[in-house]
Structure 1
Amino acid sequence: MAEETIEVTATETTETTEDTAAEQPQIASSLTAQEREVIANMPYEEARDKLMQAVRALENGGLSLDESMRQWEIGEALAQRAQSLLNTVRAKLDAAQAQQAQTAATAGTQSNLQ
């Protein structure tokens, strides 16, 4: 069976993303600063897909200890990125729901005419 490992490479994206690298705790890692930067700017779907590939590579086995550790570190970084993006979306949804509830509560009252 061929070994499948994930390499993090820069991909061009036109989507602007929030800087989530600052939110992530920094641990000793074999990932380069450039690789961490690439992951920190990945859109959710790409991070999720690469995370699934890293998990498959680990589950398939056949990797050396160093290769396994690298895949694990890549997977951890990708999971943190995806979770950070999900947290951002959750916060936006919560804010929109709160605004909608506030608007509904004052609809048709004198307070919204002032």
Structure 2
Amino acid sequence: LFSKNQIHVVDGDQFVYDPLQELKKIETFLGLPHLIRHDDFIYNVTKGFYCIRLDGNNMEKCLNKNKGRPHPDINPIIIKRLRKFYEPYNKFFFSLVGRSFNWPNR
């Protein structure tokens, strides 16, 4: 239906820890000039991720309060079973998008 060059998959983990690099990839994919700069972000220590700096000052716009919250612990046995079950699907997905992600190993 669509070829690889028509679909861009964003690495959500990378976007949280280094939004500029992911946004540069998006700009390139869309054929846009690279206008987003490091100074457009400000690290929010409370949330633990970057927010957008508004109007070149220290005002920021962050994701809503549901983002950046702690997640419950999951039994390691359940995680192992889920990884094993989804492994072939993850490999297939990685082959489709031409890129692998770190989330199966976390």
| TM-score above 0.5 | no
> How high is the TM-score relative to the length of structure 1?
0.26
Q: Which has the higher strand share?
A: 2
> How high is the TM-score relative to the length of structure 2?
0.27
Q: Which has the higher helix share?
A: 1
Higher relative contact order (CA 8 A, sep 6+): 1
